[in-house]
Structure 1
Amino acid sequence: MKGIILAGGSGTRLYPLTKSVSKQMLPVYDKPMIYYPLSALMLAGIREILIISTPRDLDRFEELLGNGHRLGLDIHYQVQDEPNGLAEAFLIGEEFIGDSPVALILGDNIFYGSNFGNLLADASNLTTGALVFGCYVKNPKAYGVIEVDDDLNPISIEEKPLHPKSTLAIPGLYFFDHQVVEIAKTVKPSERGEKEITSIINEYLHRGELKFELLGRGLAWFDTGTHESLLEASQFVETIQKRQGLYIACIEEIAFRRGYITKDQLLEVAEPLMKTDYGKYLVDVTKSRNEKIRDKGAFMSDSI
């Protein structure tokens, strides 16, 4: 499976912070925002990744992450000239996707919770159809909403409905088979002038090929598109890291734990960062006495 991070848009809700820098480059506590969706794809076992962003910002992402080889990844980049909707990501990434299934994650979405790493690993095994998640939210009118029956089978999908049929929002993480490209080509712009991801999901629903996974109370999901949610996410990450002593979305650690890079490669990455807590943490990762316990706690059941 391949992965796409959609890190475009103008981030107008975060002005003036985003007047000269991409929203996905803003710090969420101690890391750039894009580290969090990238870590989700890495935990899913996805190593070939396409980052889509604006003409202004794409070079900055490439400067930050390069070709991904230092993380054992293969990172590609493409431009989205205008924010024409999430579904456009599959048209931009058509050549990248090819005949492979693909995961799409939005660059401003952050996930953390019990068993989420296992859910991602299972989701990445998808070969046919589509898979979406559902999270309970207080204000479903602001999201894409999914209605399910008593057996958690999806019934309907609506984008920002005035009268939501449920309080289950679809977060910005989706898994599709390769048919998604051809389906995306048929999507017409909505009244908002955007090619909505819900149109694609609805097509899979009509075909009877849509799977649904409920993310329960133990999962934290942040859509960091406002000043308030950006601050909340930063405070959450700070609290977890200080209490547990384990970092969230430490992409170098994930690469090491997953076997994408060696201990020596991790130490090479850490060496120029030794004046920071981040660099010292990377060194500590290589010295951990209880590797199996830390691996399970930090990466199999809880991590990103």
Structure 2
Amino acid sequence: MSAPLAAAPARRGIILAGGSGSRLFPLTLPFSKQLMPVYDKPMIYYPLSVLMLAGIREILVITTPHDRPLFERLLGDGSSYGIALSYATQDEPRGLADAYRIGADFVGTNPSCLILGDNLFYGAYLTDMLVNVSARTAGATIFGYHVVDPRSYGVVEIDGTGTKALSLEEKPEKPRSNLAIPGLYFYDGNAPAYAREITPSPRGEIEITDLNRRYLAEGTLHVEVLSRGTAWLDTGTHENLIEAADYIRAVQNRQGLKVACLEEIGLFRGWIDRETIAKNAKAYGKSSYGEYLRMIAAEGVR
């Protein structure tokens, strides 16, 4: 990690960690897929780490009524990492933009960031990009990621500058570009109000594409294309889950550094100290995560 960066504006974060995870059945019959392991950490650690790297400290986790106690047991109030966590429930999937109806009081009129609980991001320049985007006070920002076949994703078409959206399509048969839209969205303070105005789609959902199209129509939808050195991993299938675990294992074993260590990010941000990390390490016993925390407590951010 590089030296700590300047603090971002007061932006709220939302992790949408609901749904049934039916594509992972029977693994997810007893609990949320966002609690499934991705190598050595629960899946939700990865999107949570992205919000923390963006400088976001106030975060709402939206999950199912059944899974909420499990997330609360795992993450607590967030103070162990130097953040403040709140929880809300979604009794059934009603679309990604429904997060802004559920979290309207939490977000208020603050700028915000929504990330899906099953999306993983990792890359050398990711932190700098996140901080720069988080500092943008007006409009919305989505991301583009080059894929071979974008027909299974939302797709964004961009102009010659590479930063402004021209069109948005949802799982098009003939995509206008190869830029898929990952599950990471930054919005200004208008997002909750705009989400309330969205008419449910034919499948009965409050679509995130409709929210993004509102900003597109206003001319305030920005696009950041993720670089070739950035990995975006979706863990929605058994194959994807294995691929993500293999990727994290390879990176960590090669570097000796952990991806998405929440305590390390908290120290990097100056939100907690080494004493807090040493205390946290005791809870993990002789696990590799506990050993890593003890090293961080002794040596600091590597």
Q: Normalising TM by the smaller chain, what interval?
A: over 0.9
Task: Measure, in 1, the Cα distance between the counterparts of 2:219 and 2:153.
Answer: 23
Which deviates further from its counterpart, 271-280 or 220-229? 271-280
2:295 to 275, 278, 284: 284
Task: Measure, in 1, the Cα distance between the counterparts of 2:84 and 2:136.
Answer: 21
1:57 to 53, 67, 72: 67
2:107 maps to 97
Contact 1:101 1:126 in 2 (8 A): no
2:181 maps to 170
Tell me the CA shift for residue 81 of structure 1.
1.1
1:80 to 83, 87, 90: 90
Which deviates further from its counterpart, 102-111 or 207-216? 207-216
- Aligned-partner residue type, residue 119 of structure 2: N
Describe the SS at the equivalent of 2:283: helix
TM-score, length-scaled by structure 2: 0.94
1:33 maps to 43
TM-score, length-scaled by structure 1: 0.94
1:69 maps to 79
2:132 to 119, 122, 132: 122
> In the alignment, is residue 209 of structure 1 matched against residue 192 of structure 2?
no
> In the alignment, is residue 107 of structure 1 matched against residue 145 of structure 2?
no
Which deviates further from its counterpart, 266-275 or 110-119? 266-275
Describe the SS at the equivalent of 1:147: strand
Describe the SS at the equivalent of 1:56: coil
Structure 1 residue ranges (4+ consecutive) displaced by more than 2 angstroms after TM superposition: 286-289
Task: Measure, in 1, the Cα distance between the counterparts of 2:41 and 2:283.
Answer: 16
Which deviates further from its counterpart, 189-198 or 276-285? 189-198
- Superimposed CA distance per residue, residues 269-295 of structure 1 (whole angstroms, 9 cap, x where no aligned partner): 012323111111111113338x5xx3x
Task: Measure, in 1, the Cα distance between the counterparts of 2:83 and 2:242.
Answer: 30
Task: Measure, in 2, the Cα distance between the counterparts of 1:179 and 1:272.
Answer: 41
- Superimposed CA distance per residue, residues 124-149 of structure 1 (whole angstroms, 9 cap, x where no aligned partner): 11211001110011221111100012
Contact 2:274 2:298 in 1 (8 A): no
1:199 maps to 210
Task: Measure, in 1, the Cα distance between the counterparts of 2:135 and 2:160.
Answer: 25
Alignment of 1:100-249 (within 5 A): 100-152=110-162, 153-249=164-260
- Aligned-partner residue type, residue 48 of structure 1: E
Contact 2:277 2:296 in 1 (8 A): no
- Superimposed CA distance per residue, residues 44-77 of structure 1 (whole angstroms, 9 cap, x where no aligned partner): 0100000000111111101101111111111000
- Superimposed CA distance per residue, residues 15-67 of structure 1 (whole angstroms, 9 cap, x where no aligned partner): 11111110000000000000000000000010000000011111110110111
Task: Measure, in 2, the Cα distance between the counterparts of 1:187 and 1:138.
Answer: 31
Task: Measure, in 2, the Cα distance between the counterparts of 1:127 and 1:151.
Answer: 20
- Aligned-partner residue type, residue 177 of structure 1: D
Q: Name the count of aligned residue pairs.
A: 291
- Aligned-partner residue type, residue 56 of structure 2: I
- Aligned-partner residue type, residue 103 of structure 2: G
Task: Measure, in 1, the Cα distance between the counterparts of 2:260 and 2:81.
Answer: 13
Identity over aligned residues, as a percent?
Answer: 52
Structure 1, unaligned runs of 5 or more:
295-304
- Aligned-partner residue type, residue 238 of structure 2: H
Structure 2, unaligned runs of 5 or more:
1-10
Task: Measure, in 1, the Cα distance between the counterparts of 2:243 and 2:203.
Answer: 28
2:12 maps to 2
Contact 1:133 1:171 in 2 (8 A): yes
Tell me the CA shift for residue 191 of structure 1.
2.6
